[in-house]
């Protein structure tokens, strides 16, 4: 954990919902970040019951040069469902850290804001009007495309194209299911897999792909 914490330049804090519905977007998002050579940091990467969640969030934000905030779930989808405040709250902490912490690291921070639709967030969060955000329409392929575009615009103009990353993700998923099945994992194990375990499988797969090229 210490090495990860010290890797400020490559750390990407992900601020997103952790419900079952979002997993179809979270998995390709994690894959894209790792594919592009960065290190995803997410609140569910550890779950020490003795650690206050707010403290953990602040720590992840401080340790990450890049943040991705997905505001696509701030609107309640059905009657009597609460809208989600955690995502805009954590976006506020991140922007506050960048603005007020004032040290060298905080000045290097950058963020990507994702939403389902392009201008919808302005109705709930008008203070952010005029910010350049990207929308994914709740489409797994689109979250790969928009995230990759942001990294090209801000980090690496030579990144592989989005179609290539999306197809790699699909190939990874095939290997992932096949290998886990061989290891005795059942559907529920795959569905409920903890995020750190899933990240580790992506890392192993990407390492394997790179070593195949080197051979």
Partner 1 sequence: MAKKKSEGSSKRVHIISRKDGWAVKKEGTSRASKIYQNKDSAIKGSEKLRQKGHDVIVHKKDGSIQDWKKSKK
Q: Which residues bind partner 1 (CB under 8 A)?
A: 24-25, 27-28, 35-37, 139-142, 159-160, 163-164, 166-171, 173-174, 177-178, 206, 209-210, 212-213
Q: How far is the CB of 140 from partner 1 (least distance, A)?
A: 4
**Toward partner 1, which CB reaches closer, 90 or 151?**
151
Q: Is 134 helix (H, G, I), strand (E, B) or coil?
A: strand
Evaluate whether 41 touches 11 at the Cβ level (below 8 Å): yes
**Toward partner 1, which CB reaches closer, 36 or 199?**
36
Q: How far is the CB of 87 from partner 1 (least distance, A)?
A: 20
Evaluate whether 49 touches 85 at the Cβ level (below 8 Å): no
**Toward partner 1, which CB reaches closer, 74 or 143?**
143
DSSP code of 19? S
Region class of 156: left (phi > 0), else alpha (psi between -120 and 50), else beta: beta
Q: How far is the CB of 73 from partner 1 (least distance, A)?
A: 16
**Toward partner 1, which CB reaches closer, 36 or 125?**
36
Evaluate whether 5 touches 63 at the Cβ level (below 8 Å): yes
Residues 6+ apart with CB under 8 A from 164: none
Q: How far is the CB of 69 from partner 1 (least distance, A)?
A: 21
Tokens of 67: 């943040």
| Spatial distance between the Cα atoms of 141 and 35, rounded to a whole number of angstroms | 14
| Spatial distance between the Cα atoms of 144 and 209, rounded to a whole number of angstroms | 19
Q: How far is the CB of 205 from partner 1 (least distance, A)?
A: 9
**Toward partner 1, which CB reaches closer, 25 or 57?**
25
């Amino acid at each position: 954990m210490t090495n990860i914490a010290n890797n400020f330049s490559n750390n990407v804090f992900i601020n997103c919902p952790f419900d079952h519905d979002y997993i179809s977007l979270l998995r390709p998002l994690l894959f894209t970040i790792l594919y592009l050579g960065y290190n995803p940091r997410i609140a569910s990467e550890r779950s020490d019951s003795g650690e206050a969640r707010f403290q953990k969030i602040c720590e992840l934000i401080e340790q990450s040069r890049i943040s991705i905030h997905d505001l696509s779930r701030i609107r309640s989808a059905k009657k009597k469902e609460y809208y989600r405040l955690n995502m805009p709250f954590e976006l506020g902490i991140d922007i506050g850290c960048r603005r007020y912490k004032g040290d060298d690291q905080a000045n290097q921070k950058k963020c990507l804001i994702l939403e389902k639709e392009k201008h919808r967030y302005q109705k709930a969060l008008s203070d952010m009007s005029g910010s350049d955000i990207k929308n994914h329409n709740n489409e797994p392929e689109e979250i790969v495309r928009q995230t990759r575009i942001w990294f090209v615009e801000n980090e690496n103009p030579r990144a592989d194209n989005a179609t290539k990353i999306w197809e790699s993700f699909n190939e990874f998923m095939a290997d992932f299911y096949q290998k886990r099945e061989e290891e005795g994992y059942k559907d529920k194990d795959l569905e409920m897999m903890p995020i750190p375990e899933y990240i580790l499988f992506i890392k192993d797969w990407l390492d394997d792909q790179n070593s195949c090229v080197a051979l």
